[in-house]
Amino acid sequence: MRVAGRVARTRIASGRFLCLVVVALSGCRTTSGSPAAAPGPPPVVVSPGGLTAGERREAEALLAEARASFEARRFFDVVRATDRILERFAASEASGEALRLGAEARLETGDADAADAAAARYLSLLPPDDARAAGMRLLQARAAAGDSARALDRLLRIDASASVSELEQGAEATRNAADALDLEELRRVVDGVGAAAGPLAPLAEVRLAVSLLGGNRLADAEEYARRAVRGGATGEELAWAEGVLRGELPAGRGRVTAFSIGLVLPFGGPPAMADFATLVAEGVELAAATVLGDDVAVTVVARDAEGDPEVAAQAVAELEADGVAGIVGLLQDEMLVAGARARAGTVPIVSPTARSADLAGAAAYSLEGPEPDAAKAIARYAASRAFQRIAMVYPETPGARLEADAFEAMAESLGMPLVGRFAYDAGATFFEPQILAARDALRKDEIAALALSEDDTLRMEVLQPAAIFLPIPPEDVEFIAPQLIHFGLDTLAIEILGTSGWTDAGTLEAVAERLTTGVVATAAVGGRPGDDGDARFRQAYEEFYRRSLVGPTPALGYDAALILLAALRPGRIAPEQVNAALAGLRGLQGATGVWSVVDGRVSRSIQVVRIQDRVPVPEPAGFPVNPKR
């Protein structure tokens, strides 16, 4: 959870830390009044041993190369250079900086686990109270963007040697991470850090104290409030702690244990849509009955949209006036936009299926829609494969443009040339102009230089690695996949890259196996039949309704409601508070995937896969992508 409408935030610090900051800001002086040169910290050396002068020079040259590549945002080059230092010159004075720089570069390439491991190794080499530790802790917190508990653990271990700016960054991240955890998770992290806790600990302790008081656990609440005061809580956090000691909750932090959510679906629309709506509603009802447990009573207030945007808008306005805490439904883009615009305020709306939630404005979300993180992941994959040229073909829709823009920005940051963007009209079924334009942009010069014809496959091995990126919806894959083969991309060794439209279960079933085998795309983490989230949902559905689950549609309603209810879990229902909690949502395991809210958009955790015989198989390196702030 996150508290909206905070007054000016004051950096949290212990008295000891404030003294250190004052001394640092005043500067060190010699008796003559001239500044004294402060010796720098000793270099970090990864492994003891001896090196020749030539080896030390080579290590320094590689480090200089890595630094230049980092400045130019060629992060895979940084990883390669720093790995060479660590493999060959671990005893050099360049090795510690190579380890640190490599950790930063790995985070930029999306390899969060490797970045965290490198940072942990660097931290293990530092002496106690070394000022360089804070930067690595912050890096670890960023690497744990999909795991608020792990991020908070790293942040609470930042010690008083951190700089003012590092503590300010850490304070904001600590507030966000602590507010994203429920009471028991927050207590587990705070207690787990124990004596290693630094000056940011009071920020988490005071939030834990407030949550405990809201649950009528008075003695525990007072304990953590006193710890926060002793640790140096200031400003808003100090006021909260003192309020807890008086038995008072901060304004807006009280808990509501009974509330309503709205449900707007086309129950009276065309028969096929009405049947779909009924199944979605089953998932919503199940989530309302089970997600928040027995301590919270959630009522679902349903309205029939009748398949009409005007009726949907009226339903939303009525539900908002009745005081619902949020609304689920509005399956199509025009319904979601009409409903969102009918709100007087910002009561949140979560659609299971609309694709253009961005058009609906603030506090409108959808499980479907653009996947900029997936596009970035594919760009990182392409850079790791050292593709020399990339072209894009995509539909002229807002979501596809967003993915194309995200891919292009990441490709540019990784130094990977993009030779052209070729858009087609939404709903098209014939793509010859775009495919041929992309093919020529990728291969024309090489084909001429090698004196190859379109049908010549004997010398493909001498062609530079190239690919075409197609961020397209599932319904377009069936039409475009055979045309890619028809127009000869396979004979010219052009690799096909895509996003989750290519790995959609219905798409893989409908499209000929040979047309998708070998395509590199993205797929949801934890979103396949039989995965943990799917299995838990299936069990809950069959126990609740006492019948077998048939088909995936109820899971869509369940996950849409789950996201809304996760934001309502703290028991605060004012729209600004619910939307603030939604903004901090990370790593929520649902029936169809692992969900987060990033930059105001619902995002599914994904992995890079290669389709093989209709099965998405994770690439060897894994390429996990957790949504980041």
Query: Average of pLDDT values for 555-574?
Result: 88
Weakest mean pLDDT among 58-67, 211-220, 410-419, 613-622: 613-622
Can you give 502-571 as a three-state secondary structure string? CCCHHHHHHCCHHHHCCCEEEEECCCCCCCHHHHHHHHHHHHHHCCCCCCCHHHHHHHHHHHHHHHHCCC
Nearest to 182 by CA among 559, 567, 518, 492: 567
Percentage of the chain with pLDDT > 90?
Answer: 51
pLDDT for position 628:
37
515: in domain: no
pLDDT at 29 over 80: no
Q: Is residue 204 a contact partner of residue 190, using CB atoms and an 8 Å limit?
A: yes
pLDDT for position 461:
55
Do 177 and 308 fall into the same domain? no
Domain stop point among 139, 172, 196: 196
257: in domain: no
d(CA 602, CA 370): 9
pLDDT for position 459:
53
Confidence of residue 254 (pLDDT cuts 50, 70, 90): low
Query: Average of pLDDT values for 308-316?
Result: 95
415: in domain: yes
pLDDT for position 505:
83
Residues forming beta bridges with residue 616, ordered by sequence position: 611
pLDDT at 258 over 90: no
CA 103 to chain CA mean position, Å: 19
pLDDT at 255 over 80: no
146: in domain: yes
Do 343 and 381 fall into the same domain? no
254: in domain: no
Do 71 and 101 fall into the same domain? yes
Query: Average of pLDDT values for 265-274?
Result: 90
Predicted TM-score (pTM) of this structure: 0.68
pLDDT for position 21:
32
Confidence of residue 9 (pLDDT cuts 50, 70, 90): very low
Do 285 and 422 fall into the same domain? no
- In Å, how far are 283, 412, 422, 489, 563 from 391, measured between CA atoms? 40, 13, 8, 12, 36
Read off the pLDDT of residues 470-494 as tens digits, 9 standing for 90 and up.
999 999 999 999 999 888 887 777 8
Read off the pLDDT of residues 36-48 as tens digits, 9 standing for 90 and up.
445 678 899 999 8
Confidence of residue 457 (pLDDT cuts 50, 70, 90): low
Return the C-alpha torsion angle 178, 183, 189, 192, nearest 10: 150
Do 469 and 533 fall into the same domain? no
Do 327 and 416 fall into the same domain? no
Do 92 and 142 fall into the same domain? yes
Confidence of residue 452 (pLDDT cuts 50, 70, 90): low
Q: What is the mean pLDDT of the chain?
A: 85
Query: Average of pLDDT values for 355-360?
Result: 87
Q: Is 350 helix (H, G, I), strand (E, B) or coil?
A: strand
Do 376 and 365 fall into the same domain? no
Domain stop point among 140, 168, 196: 196
Read off the pLDDT of residues 524-554 as tens digits, 9 standing for 90 and up.
887 777 778 889 999 999 999 999 998 889 9
Domain count, the chain: 3
In the numeric block, the tokens 């600990």 are attached to: 201
pLDDT for position 2:
32
Confidence of residue 455 (pLDDT cuts 50, 70, 90): low
pLDDT for position 326:
95
**Residue 211: burial class (beta carbons within 10 Å; 0-12, 13-18, 19+):** buried
504: in domain: no
Do 303 and 412 fall into the same domain? no
- Angle, alpha carbons 489-495-501 (nearest 5°): 100
Do 88 and 184 fall into the same domain? yes
In the numeric block, the tokens 């879990």 are attached to: 569
Confidence of residue 445 (pLDDT cuts 50, 70, 90): low
pLDDT for position 355:
87
Read off the pLDDT of residues 230-241 as tens digits, 9 standing for 90 and up.
999 999 899 999
The CATH number of the domain holding residue 59 is: 1.25.40.10
pLDDT at 391 over 60: yes
305: in domain: yes
d(CA 195, CA 199): 12
Residues whose CB is less than 8 angstroms from the CB of residue 413 and which lie 6 or more positions away in sequence, other chains included: 73, 75, 108
Confidence of residue 170 (pLDDT cuts 50, 70, 90): very high
Which domain does 67 fall in, by range?
A: 15-31+40-196
Domain stop point among 180, 196, 212: 196
Do 460 and 553 fall into the same domain? no
pLDDT for position 449:
62
pLDDT for position 1:
32
Confidence of residue 60 (pLDDT cuts 50, 70, 90): very high
The CATH number of the domain holding residue 463 is: 3.40.50.2300
Weakest mean pLDDT among 197-211, 368-382, 420-434, 461-475: 461-475
pLDDT for position 299:
94
362: in domain: yes
Do 379 and 436 fall into the same domain? yes
